[in-house]
Structure 1
Amino acid sequence: MKNLKYIYISLGILAFTACNDPEDVDLEPEVMAEALVELNAGSADFSTYVSLGNSLTAGFTDNALFIAGQENSIPNLLSTKFALVGGGAFSQPLMSDNIGGLLAGGTQLEGFDPRLVFGGAGPVDLADVIGPVDPTTDIILNNPTGPFNNMGVPGAKSFHLLADGYGNAANLAAQRANPYYVRMTGTTPDAKVLELAMAQSPTFFSLWIGNNDVLGHALSGADGTNPMTDQPTFDFAINTLVTTLTSAGAKGVMANIPYVTTIPHFTTVPHDPIDPAENGFAAQVPTLNTVYGALNQVYTALGETNRIVVFSDSTNNAVVIKDEALIDISAQITGAFNANPGFPVFVTQLGLPEAAAPLVASLLGTAYGQSRAATENDLLVLPSSNVIGKVNEASFADFSAVNLPPAIAGQFSVEGVTLPLADKWVLTPEEQDEINAVTTQFNATIASAASAAGLAYVDANQLLQDLASGGVTDGDFTLTANLVTGGGFSLDGVHLTARGYALMANEFMKSIDATYETNFEASGSLFNIGNYPTNYSPALQ
């Protein structure tokens, strides 16, 4: 059991299709189709365009920010169209390379890693394909000089755009600053994002913010370490942003927040990824069912049959998870085992002395007090694919500390098999419902603010639901929400590909047409999304 390893999503999900080959990178300028009618700006003034938002505004893709991704960001794409009807120059805080990752005084910042690439079977670190990489973007040594028209800050929540010191490197240690925004503030490190945006006197703006107000909670499996923003704070932030941005007569466009349950970060890893034909798992099934058989008897006696776990040696197996919505019956499990005269015999079958029975009873109670088999209604976060079937070292150390032999300690520490997956790896149906309910409330705030200010409005939530429910066709291409093969989402399962960003930019222009009587669509000025890549080559540096 200790050597059990998880084979990365072997259900054909990551088989690569020809139209989305990893070398499918076309960075040549787009050739516009012949205009159907003359392009005009309608009632919009694009002379000074400023964009505010988070990673989706910055051009973040493949789990990193890098030059090519920034050049294909929604605001930068839009600026090229705005330039045709009076739009001015558009500046971005470009990274120093196409590697991604951030340094601070030459030291790699934890959690700010180089980009992902396609490794033949799924997303892998760039270094896994080309060898060691050295990011060159340093927030202390080589920040670019603003002002910047693209004020998208990866990781920003709604209220962060109003926060003093969010771009001050001195606040990094206290986690009150964002390294990406540190790169943008220059000689005014305490300036708010909104303040720097307004300093440019925008005549037109785009605002796509709020995703991280729910997404951070979801990415952590709703384990409480990154709570969702409360409604009053969110409402204040959105209304303040819109009121301020329109205070001098600027027009603009806003987009809402997608449901996290529609994006491949939460829909790619199946609930039953354990193939009995892999790594000798089938041979372990009898032992596993002996252990869980003892637990299942307790569950049945307590009327908790929904917690029963049975492994199969012929079909794929669901992972075992910890579900904090379940009543904790740890004490009942321990008590039932200690009261069962046959339990010491069971313990000897595990290769332990009878005297170890009370200890084993306590350990089993603690481990399985809130456990159950995952169902198709549970969503496993994408990084769970890297831990399922592997030995949890912390658990192994805990079991070893109470003198269990290494072999037994390892057997009881296999993630998702004998050790229930922790809350951070799974979104249960209850957690999904809570997140979607808050997203719906936040989207009502965004829609109301946009309507009250007469702004264009993009239903990004519906577009991404359409990607997940069958795909969206634009020209000769149909994008879906499938990881790698779908073409819409990048390798991190959260952010869009360049082609996905071009699709979204078209939605922005359609909304602007409807509100300000521009004619980007009627004039044939929308983007041909086929001119934009779905993946970047590992050779791109």
Structure 2
Amino acid sequence: MKKNIKMLLLVSLTFMAACNNDDNNAPEEVPVTPGSAVLTKYVALGDSFAAGYSDNALFKKGQENSYVNILAQQFVAAGGGAFTQPLMNDNIGGLLLGGNVVAGTRLYFNGQAPVNVSGKPTTEITSHLTGTFNNMGVPGAKSYHLVAPGYGNVAGVATGAANPYFARFSSSATTTVLADAVAQAPTFFSLFIGGNDVLSYATSGGIGKDQTGNMNPATYGSNDITDPTVFKTIYSNLVTALTANGAKGVVANLPYITTLPYFTTVPYNPAPLTAALATQLNAGYAAYNGGLQQMVEKKLLSADEAARRTINFKTGNNAVVVVDSYLTNLSAYGIPSYRQATKEDLVVLSARTFIGTTVGGDPTKVNGLSVPLADNWVLTKDEVNEVKKATDAYNIAIKAIADEKGLAFVNTVSTMTQLSSGGVRFGNFVMSSTYVTGGAFSLDGVHPSARGYGLIANIFIDAINEKYGSTLRHVDLAQYPIQYPATLP
């Protein structure tokens, strides 16, 4: 018995020694250092992504989980200083102008669908914030807005001449976003801008104009695509001003809209039909189809286009009918520009509650079927190509300017594409761009969730570490929620 006890004691001591030996040989954690970056004064420029916009609103918790605020928290261990943000008054979201609601409350998922949280916004635009703010992210801003005097003028908000979010914290009515950023003498900056230069065109279903060739942004409409040369010039001016005093920084390119759930959630063929309904609808479009054939016979329309425009329903799932302004205009002959959607068209997220509804309660007038979807509900393949062409041009400019100025460069195109084609794995989790359940995007289908912003912060950190030899650490994505509840403190 004593011999067995001695043997057990020997085994125990040997095991403890092995454990101690393992601890001694374990690799030491690399200390956090800034490398050649100076992080003491960090200023972030950008749009809604930088601001922390999420679930179709800006609210305090979303701002706290913005990727730039997450970055600032990680910078602290490497000498980063205080980071201030123009926080909203509440977690309801939305804005008031003179007491009137001009921006709605945030969304939450009630178990069946996204709905707005209850309550009225309490953030009043005219209640101006004083002081300087490290987070200069402005929801809705396009590239040229960052250098536009008066963009923060409260008096211009009602007419659309100024931005309500910047009006809350601009240093004066005539300043620019860039001027307020440079005035803080940053030692390090981030710049993620340009998404809205194509996004507003895309989310509106192409209700706007491709301004390629127009060098005067003052003549652009709110939903227009920015000319690539204008973008390049503005972007170069932004970076030149930010680096003038030796500041270093990180910039990011722009993801394709085809990776956003706003454009990928609603299928082009969401309409299940019985044989009887298909027959009924085909009868309704018989005159239209016949008119197309008459135009072919008169040599006013090619046979190929006539085939693409011919509307034919069948039993099972069917493509919606859309208005397509890129088709040959036959309105002089009483023939509208209709066709059925294809997989190359992108039906916008907001159409999910519109397709299948009736006009005035008339069961014979069904939106998307007997009543074609207007342009604002669908980004057609030609409009998708316009957006892609502009995005590619912007991204070429961003990369070239980053290389010229020696800045860290973040390839968001790669990450967003991965999210939409299999997902990104971390720990025991996988996050993807799948609407509601994927975890990467919020309920508006465009802006990231808190976890999505954490992912953006991590890829920014990777770029900074690679360029400047810093050893900043990732954040644990599992600590960030994929959805916010109805009630937040």
TM-score scaled by length of structure 2: 0.87
* Residues 35/153 of structure 1: CA separation in 2 closer, same or farther (3 Å cut): farther
Q: Which residue of 2 aligns with 1:221?
A: 205
Report the Cα distance in structure 2 between the residues aligned to 1:82 and 1:196, rounded to whole angstroms. 22
- Listed as ranges, the matches of 1:28-43 within 5 Å are 36-43=29-36
* Amino acid of the structure 2 residue aligned with 1:41: P
Q: Which residue of 2 aligns with 1:360?
A: none
* Amino acid of the structure 2 residue aligned with 1:123: P
- Listed as ranges, the matches of 1:462-481 within 5 Å are 462-481=414-433
Report the Cα distance in structure 2 between the residues aligned to 1:123 and 1:273, rounded to whole angstroms. 20
Q: Which residue of 2 aligns with 1:124?
A: 115
> Is the CA contact 1:116–1:126 (under 8 Å) kept in the aligned structure 2?
yes
1:283 deviates by: 5.5
Aligned: 1:424 with 2:415: no
Give the SS at the match of 1:483. coil
Report the Cα distance in structure 2 between the residues aligned to 1:275 and 1:123, rounded to whole angstroms. 24
> Is the CA contact 1:94–1:144 (under 8 Å) kept in the aligned structure 2?
no
Report the Cα distance in structure 2 between the residues aligned to 1:449 and 1:154, rounded to whole angstroms. 24
* Amino acid of the structure 1 residue aligned with 2:123: T
Q: Which residue of 1 aligns with 2:411?
A: 459
* Amino acid of the structure 2 residue aligned with 1:206: S
1:251 deviates by: 0.4
1:68 deviates by: 0.7
Report the Cα distance in structure 1 between the residues aligned to 2:331 and 2:28, rounded to whole angstroms. 69
Q: Which residue of 1 aligns with 2:308?
A: 306
What value does the CA root-mean-square deviation take over the aligned residues? 1.8
Which of 86, 89, 99 in structure 2 is aligned with 1:96? 89
> Is the CA contact 1:476–1:530 (under 8 Å) kept in the aligned structure 2?
no
1:285 deviates by: 3.6
* Amino acid of the structure 1 residue aligned with 2:425: T
- Listed as ranges, the matches of 1:103-122 within 5 Å are 103-109=96-102, 112-122=103-113
Identity %: 47
Q: Which residue of 2 aligns with 1:174?
A: 159
Larger strand percent: 2
> Is the CA contact 1:296–1:305 (under 8 Å) kept in the aligned structure 2?
no
Q: Say which structure, 1 or 2, has more relative contact order (CA 8 Å, 6+ apart).
A: 1
Aligned: 1:231 with 2:228: yes
Q: Which residue of 2 aligns with 1:209?
A: 193
Q: Which residue of 2 aligns with 1:528?
A: 476
Q: Which residue of 2 aligns with 1:398?
A: none
Q: Which residue of 1 aligns with 2:122?
A: 136
Give the SS at the match of 1:78. helix
- Listed as ranges, the matches of 1:79-478 within 5 Å are 79-109=72-102, 112-127=103-118, 133-141=119-127, 143-186=128-171, 188-224=172-208, 226-276=223-273, 284-301=277-294, 302=296, 303=303, 304-312=306-314, 314-332=315-333, 334=334, 365=335, 369-392=336-359, 410=362, 413-478=365-430
Aligned: 1:47 with 2:44: no
Report the Cα distance in structure 1 between the residues aligned to 2:28 and 2:467, rounded to whole angstroms. 21
* Deviations 1:294-347 (CA, angstroms, capped at 9, x unpaired): 3223334433122222223x4122110011111122344x4xxxxxxxxxxxxx
Q: Which residue of 2 aligns with 1:356?
A: none
Aligned: 1:507 with 2:455: no
* Most deviating of 217-226 and 495-504: 217-226
1:284 deviates by: 4.0
Report the Cα distance in structure 2 between the residues aligned to 1:202 and 1:499, rounded to whole angstroms. 27
* Amino acid of the structure 2 residue aligned with 1:385: R
Report the Cα distance in structure 1 between the residues aligned to 2:45 and 2:450, rounded to whole angstroms. 19
Give the SS at the match of 1:326. coil
1:125 deviates by: 2.1
Give the SS at the match of 1:210. coil
> Is the CA contact 1:474–1:503 (under 8 Å) kept in the aligned structure 2?
no
1:391 deviates by: 3.3
1:392 deviates by: 4.3
* Residues 35/307 of structure 1: CA separation in 2 closer, same or farther (3 Å cut): farther
Give the SS at the match of 1:82. helix
Give the SS at the match of 2:115. strand
* Deviations 1:333-388 (CA, angstroms, capped at 9, x unpaired): x4xxxxxxxxxxxxxxxxxxxxxxxxxxxxxx3xxx11011112210011112221
* Deviations 1:95-153 (CA, angstroms, capped at 9, x unpaired): 001111000121101xx2111111323322224xxxxx111111113x43320000000
1:189 deviates by: 2.1
Aligned length: 441
Report the Cα distance in structure 2 between the residues aligned to 1:216 and 1:146, rounded to whole angstroms. 31
* Deviations 1:5-35 (CA, angstroms, capped at 9, x unpaired): xxxxxxxxxxxxxxxxxxxxxxxxxxxxx97
Report the Cα distance in structure 2 between the residues aligned to 1:35 and 1:419, rounded to whole angstroms. 67
1:175 deviates by: 1.4
Q: Which residue of 2 aligns with 1:76?
A: 69
1:413 deviates by: 4.3
* Deviations 1:457-491 (CA, angstroms, capped at 9, x unpaired): 00111110111111111233211111111111111
TM-score scaled by length of structure 1: 0.79
Q: Which residue of 1 aligns with 2:299?
A: none
> Is the CA contact 1:477–1:529 (under 8 Å) kept in the aligned structure 2?
no
* Amino acid of the structure 1 residue aligned with 2:132: P
Give the SS at the match of 2:318. coil
